[in-house]
């Protein structure tokens, strides 16, 4: 997760009409990414921490790997896999919930 960046063009051109469509820079980044990139991560999203709009991106197995060095016991493996499953389920739930809000905002 990182703070969302303002559009580069918004520093040069001030157009309140266009700005009303993107009140959240994270939302703008996500929508533009889906519209313009064929390889957008499916967990790309946005949120707000305090007053700071943020971009949320997944950590894929290709970019980070879990360290399994300290996990040697089968019961420990089951415990870790259980936590990973719960975390994945929660991420998916919020992903669906946020997407429903975005869709209703866009198409309303």
Distance CA 60, CA 65 (A): 8
Span 49-104, pLDDT tens digits: 888 888 888 765 555 566 777 888 889 888 988 888 888 777 777 767 766 665 55
Structure tokens at 66: 């879990």
For every residue of 2-71, DSSP letters joined together read EEPPPPGGGGT---HHHHTT-SSHHHHHHHHHHHH-TT--TT-EEEEETTEEEEE----TTT-----TT-
Whole-prediction pTM: 0.47
Distance CA 96, CA 91 (A): 9
């Amino acid at each position: 997760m990182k703070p969302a960046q303002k559009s580069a063009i918004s520093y040069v051109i001030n157009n309140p009409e266009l700005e009303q469509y993107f009140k959240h820079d994270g939302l703008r980044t996500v929508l533009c990414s889906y519209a313009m990139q064929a390889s957008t991560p499916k967990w790309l999203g946005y949120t707000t921490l305090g007053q700071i709009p943020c971009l949320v991106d997944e950590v894929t197995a290709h970019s980070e790997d879990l360290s399994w060095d300290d996990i040697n016991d089968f019961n420990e493996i089951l415990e870790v896999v259980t936590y990973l499953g719960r975390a994945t389920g929660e991420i998916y739930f919020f992903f669906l919930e946020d997407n429903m809000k975005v869709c209703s905002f866009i198409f309303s």
